[in-house]
Chain A
Amino acid sequence: MELLIFYPLAGLCVALALGVIFNNSPVGSAIALIGMMLCLSGIFVLQQAHFIAILQIIIYAGAIMVLFMFVIMLLNLKQGETAGWVAREKNLLLSILTGLLAVGILYKIAQVLFSGNMDAPASLADSFGTVAVIGETLFTDFVLPFEVASILLLAAMIGAVVLAKNKLD
């Protein structure tokens, strides 16, 4: 029953992710990305992580992507760059580094996939993934990373304001 929902969602996710890369127009890419995020939040629901699923929609699909669309429309980018795939000389080192990073992540994923026991699903408590439990975990076990992350976000926010203000003045 779960697989019946999982495979279409996961398939759509991959298809839309490819759509983001291969689409010519920026708006098309953005819409594909939104669709991909919605599918991803469906997969989160399947994993009993309702809170994460709804955050995925609110933050990524609902807020960040609206801003993306806003910028794309503001610049009125109708078509993407027509030049095909060209490696830029000055970016060579960066390209290699990010490529290595991607390979590393894939290796780690593969390692987890093959080491885990796929046939015996983990048993979950009834309260798993509820808002109350996540809140409790965030503010007890992970309070330091949580606060550090919020300070980081605050710094980014102030940085953005300062940058924008310099241009305005």
Chain B
Amino acid sequence: MWVDLIITLVKILFIFTVTVGFFAPILTWVERKQSALMQDRIGANRAEIMGFTALGLFHIIADAVKMFTKEDFIPDGANKFLHTISPILALVPAILTFAVVPFGGQYTLFDKEVNLVISDLDVGLLFVFAIASLATYGYVIAGWSSNNNWSLLGSMRTASQMISYEVTMGLTIIGVLMVYETMKLPEIGAAQEDFFRWGFFLQPLGFIMFLAASIAENKRIPFDAPEAESELVAGYFTEYSGIKFGMFFMAEFIEMVTIAAIVTILFFGAWHIPFLTTATLLSWFDFLGATGSNFAVMLIHIAVFFAKVVFFIWFQMVIRWTLPRFRYDQIMKLGWKILLPLSLANILVTAIVIMILN
């Protein structure tokens, strides 16, 4: 009982450190540096401590100091309570999804089965979807409670965009579900040990649509109509300053990590290395003993998983700095007239293929 509790706490702590403590701050720097590289600039390099700039890494510290010390502004006529809780409502779902996302397989350490997922829910895949649909509220309430027309327009766009792309997201998830015949994310991950059983090969269309829909859910360019700077000032977070603005900012970056992690689990072999089974890996480390070899393989799997996650974060950033913003009607057209019929067709084709193979 106590051992289980401690193991779970360690896992939660690990996820928190990796997402909130490592990825969120580092990504603010990576995004600046990558945009600078792609636009032939030098990028963040001004913050310095005693002459050292450390490639601009000190900007992370400068950002944190700035956000925590800025005046916390609540506009006239705004709903104070809702204005204050909406950044939290936006940030929490982004982190909460990690409760069901496995970051490794199952290992036997000191005669104890350790499953590298915080909560192995029977409805794991649906949980991801449910949390994604709850994330809408933070943004919608933020825009409404600000008592600002730009904000309100931003939140209206958020609501319609997120509802539209949720449909596609849910339908592509069904394709994955049909192929692997389980809703548990760790089982979906484990089923992809064989390279040619990766979700990318079994659901190629599903992968593309899922990625597109999740980027739209995250409201990043090219789907950033809800916060379009050139039209709506800053959309739903126009009236936010200081750490409340910082929370929206962090939510976006953590959501990127979440998307990368889920795409890795569902479509890119989770923690598996192509053409290398877990059994082979274990046999390589036989000289370390039962627990030792399991531990070594566990570390390798975690590293492989996060390497894939980093790849997909990079991929999202390349998309963000390559494409221009879509017009609002184009976003709606893509969601309802292209992605929705395609995802329905994807389910149909998947079902037919499964029927034939059986």
Chain A residues in the interface with B (C-beta under 8 A)? 27, 31, 34, 50-51, 54-55, 57-58, 61-63, 66-67, 69-70, 73-74, 76, 129-131
Contact = CB atoms under 8 A, between A and B. Distances in A.
- Per DSSP, chain A at the interface is helix
B156 A50 contact: no
B140 A73 contact: yes
Contact of A66 (B121, B122, B130, B136): B136
A34 B129 CA distance: 17
B4 to A, nearest CB: 16
Interface string B104-128: 0000000000000000011100110
B122 A58 contact: no
Nearest to A58: B130
Select the residue from A27, A34, A55 with max chain B CB neighbours within 10 A. A27
B166 A73 contact: no
A54 B127 contact: yes
B134 interface: yes
A63 B169 CA distance: 13
A30 B137 CA distance: 11
A73 B144 contact: yes
A1 B53 CA distance: 54
- Per DSSP, chain B at the interface is helix
Given A73-B156, A73-B159, A57 B121 contact: no
Given A50-B123, A57-B133, A74-B156, A66 B163 contact: yes
B133 A63 contact: yes
Nearest to A72: B144
Select the residue from A54, A129, A130 with max chain B CB neighbours within 10 A. A54
Interface of B: 82, 121-123, 126-127, 129-130, 133-134, 136-137, 140-141, 144, 152, 155-156, 159-160, 162-163, 166, 170, 183
Select the residue from B130, B141, B170 with max chain A CB neighbours within 10 A. B130
Nearest to A38: B134
A111 B295 CA distance: 58
B122 A70 contact: no
A62 B136 contact: yes
B159 A51 contact: no
A58 B156 CA distance: 20
A70 B134 contact: no
A164 to B, nearest CB: 13
B140 A58 contact: no
Nearest to A34: B137
Contact of B137 (A54, A58, A66): A66
B133 A73 contact: no
A54 to B, nearest CB: 5
B156 A131 contact: no
Nearest to B184: A131
Nearest to A51: B123
B156 A66 contact: no
Nearest to B155: A73
Contacts of B141: 27, 31, 69
B159 A66 contact: yes
Contacts of B137: 34, 66, 69
A58 to B, nearest CB: 5
3 tightest Cβ-Cβ pairs between the two chains A and B: A62-B133, A57-B130, A70-B159
